[in-house]
Chain A
């Protein structure tokens, strides 16, 4: 039996935000099993990237996209997450914390990461509904809701947060005014000249900015209605956002008697006045300093993890930070001491026409601060000099022109030293990125992001990461090979393989691989399904389908779902059903306790959550009621959508429903290079969306217009007109010929839309307008259908491939 494990130390984190969770990650990376961990968070979510709230407000990102740690992350790491309950008390003697709903947890080590609160200026009216700060997703939701019901917004505070809030509100259609008490915007990040440029830029985007504004009161009885200024100006406001600074959230720590100044005081090892309690993030005060940006928090998290896991006795050393404004289209950066004093020199560059202003502050041959406005692409180069204190005397003359001086556009990230910080949010240097690219053979920004976290937070360094990839990979970065090989097992392209199958009469996958010099013994998950399809298409009735080379859905004749269960979609010809069919479906659902029944986007019914071993029985019951596989799982003919057409609709010109059913009866069961969908609309109002289908038919007074090469999906493509015909028979003939041309000539996994784009609609039209060629294609299609139209469900319900549905053995 298992030995009783030594009791693991209990670690409790209060504050489920950026710093706290980063500290947990650092701890887990050092000692994955040392602690049993509980996290309390007052917000009801997992952890998200708070700095990206601005793009969410501006409608550029979704909340889901900025969620960095969904609840599943906690369970995967065996962390207990108590979300939506704030901790209200720490008992340092008993070593427990207690939440507002009464949940109590003991700790051996306690981490406080309570962040900060927006400062709400106690003006008259500050407690009215409609007066909020800008700190969390709830605030963003309040702002978006306000923009839907009201028109006017006032933002108090013209710093980074205030301007990002104002930009977002304006993007949501609100008439927005920023009130700033100082003479210039963002005075803690910008010198007056760039602040002036920024104000002008914001005004051209429709924001109103009032500087030296002295707000007197917030108006309104039941909720905020407006704001008055000391000079008597009155501004209407449906929402008032206070962005006048932040204050460390120390109430809990103070109550527990920990040493606090403006923040929770910590030493260089992030320990509070109680050695069992550590603090990290914006709630701390370190050597008298407070924090408001993420970069220093990452450093703190590392030190804290070293100390908590006792892997090293590192110290937190404050570093210079840089700032960017996340307003799309405004390029700015500032870092260090950018105002200077009597002992510093300023180097200034200004190009008024382009709206560019750069100011560098130099002391004793060292760069100590910089402001870049209008063109900030060299920020990493300057920031590195500020951080490292490099001697710049040799560069001084050209410093302000950046690293690419004389070299035109050419120079960029490659000129930076390896120590240069590329991603400020996550503290990732050029050297780290290059090392990861080399070591792990990375070729895309996403891969770099996944490995190094560079550009994973605010994303403003994505360009530089791309630059490093291009630099590291040289010609390989965008060199596109001339022939698209089937996969990495071969250099041969799809057309060559298809030609060889026909010319050399190759009739099995191993034969193709041998003839074409495959480099792997039995291919891979990309080429095997492709070859299986090519052979099936080339030798109908002769080639024996290789189920081992089929993707799971096509092998199981059902769609695998994320939990490993399957979905079952019976065919519903042309989207038409009957009471008897619906009753049979209902019976199947009840009998097999199928959890979800859904109408699909393809006009039929999906039964979701069927377990593998249930499939044959479910199919048998559906078969008994006359229903067959809908091939919703296959690179095959899927649905034929129809509208009601002339039978019922007052605009219908032809019987589109019957036409759709005829098409589906003719084409069902056929395997195609990628999935194939059809639709028939009864008039040009096109209710069946025929113009975004692989084969679309639109009825007119005179007959039928045939369209091809459309799809919805990832990249929407509208069909091209193929032909106008008069009779139903012609529609069927064209449809069969088009399907066969596509089946014989497209590459595997190429839908009709990209195929038509590759070969050109004119080629397709020419091939199909030739009556002789069209008839031949139709005949080959019919021959292939002759072998293909057997219901795979019926075969399996009768016992075929039984091993797919049962376990090999069971261990009790």
Chain B
């Protein structure tokens, strides 16, 4: 992704996402799952499990992982990597918190 073309878009307030949990941001391309952990950190991944494209936004969030609803792969929120023994990776999307607002990086790619 070309950093210079990133646009930080305000997509909502932290409290719009259940704790711990996830909501979806739809885009013209792929859906993006935005996660909130029990300790109020936010992460964003393409809403597509590396296994068989399960919607990670529908999974159970625990620690800094999410368990995919389809076949229970566990995906790390920080790096999008599937935990052992599974292998694969969901794309991460830059996201940050500013005064409780969630800013998601869009464009660029």
Which residues in A have some Cβ–Cβ distance to B below 8 Å?
440-442, 447, 450-451, 520-525, 528-529, 547-553, 555-556, 560, 562, 564, 803, 807-812
Contacts and interface: CB of A to CB of B under 8 A. Distances in A.
Contacts of B27: 810-811
B21 A562 contact: no
Interface string B44-87: 00000000111100111111010101101010000000001100
Contacts of B72: 525
A522 B69 contact: no
B38 A810 contact: no
A552 B55 CA distance: 10
Contacts of B23: 803, 807-808
Contacts of B84: 440-441
A399 B107 CA distance: 69
B58 A556 contact: yes
Contacts of A547: 18
A552 B63 contact: no
Contact of A528 (B12, B34, B54, B62): B62
A544 to B, nearest CB: 14
Nearest to A451: B85
B17 interface: yes
Contact of A441 (B19, B24, B85): B85
Interface in B19-43: 19-21, 23-28, 31, 34, 38-39
B6 interface: no
Contacts of A807: 23-26, 31
Contacts of A522: 20, 38, 62-63
Given A441-B85, A803-B18, A808-B17, 16 more contacts: A441-B84, A520-B62, A521-B39, A524-B60, A525-B60, A525-B67, A528-B60, A528-B62, A551-B69, A552-B58, A560-B70, A564-B58, A807-B25, A809-B9, A810-B25, A811-B11
Contacts of A551: 60, 69
Given A447-B85, A525-B72, A808-B25, A548 B11 contact: no
**Closest CB pairs A-B (n = 8):** A525-B67, A808-B23, A809-B11, A552-B69, A811-B27, A525-B60, A552-B58, A522-B38
Interface string B86-107: 0000000000000000001010
Contacts of A564: 53-55, 58
A810 B16 CA distance: 14
A548 B69 contact: no
Given A548-B60, A552-B58, A524 B25 contact: no
Nearest to A808: B23
B61 A548 contact: yes
Interface residues of B, number: 39
B52 A562 contact: yes
Nearest to A527: B62
B24 A808 contact: yes
A811 B106 contact: yes
Given A548-B18, A564-B55, A803-B16, A808 B11 contact: yes
A561 to B, nearest CB: 9
A787 B48 CA distance: 37
B63 A524 contact: yes
Contacts of B60: 524-525, 528-529, 548-552
B62 A809 contact: no
B70 A524 contact: no
A548 B34 contact: no
B85 A442 contact: yes
A792 B101 CA distance: 32
A525 B74 contact: yes
12 contacts: A440-B84, A440-B85, A441-B84, A522-B38, A524-B67, A525-B59, A525-B60, A525-B72, A548-B18, A560-B55, A808-B16, A811-B9
A447 B18 CA distance: 35
Nearest to A564: B55
A808 B28 CA distance: 15
Nearest to B67: A525
A441 B85 CA distance: 8
Nearest to B7: A811
B69 A810 contact: no
A548 B21 CA distance: 7
A811 B52 contact: no
A737 to B, nearest CB: 33
Contacts of A550: 60
Contacts of B70: 560, 562
A812 B62 contact: no
Contacts of B34: 808
B89 to A, nearest CB: 14
A520 B28 CA distance: 37
Contacts of B62: 520, 522-525, 528
A550 B26 CA distance: 24
Contacts of A560: 55, 58, 69-70
Contacts of A525: 59-60, 62, 67, 72, 74
Contacts of A441: 84-85
A54 B19 CA distance: 54
A560 B54 CA distance: 10
B92 to A, nearest CB: 16
Nearest to B106: A811
Contacts of B16: 803, 808
Contacts of A521: 38-39, 63
A437 B31 CA distance: 36
A562 B53 CA distance: 8
Nearest to B71: A562
A528 B21 CA distance: 13
Most buried by B among A524, A549, A553, A809: A809
A556 B58 CA distance: 9
Contacts of A562: 52, 70
A524 B65 CA distance: 9
Contacts of A808: 11-12, 16-17, 23-25, 34
Contacts of B20: 522, 548
Contact of B25 (A440, A528, A809): A809
Nearest to A553: B69
A528 B60 CA distance: 9
A811 B18 contact: no
B75 to A, nearest CB: 11
Contacts of B18: 547-548, 803
B85 A809 contact: no
B59 to A, nearest CB: 7
B26 A810 contact: yes
Contacts of A803: 16, 18, 23
A529 to B, nearest CB: 8
Contacts of A528: 60, 62
A604 B74 CA distance: 34
Contacts of B11: 808-809, 811
Nearest to A72: B52
Contacts of B65: 524
A525 B53 CA distance: 19
A741 B59 CA distance: 31
Contacts of B69: 551-553, 560
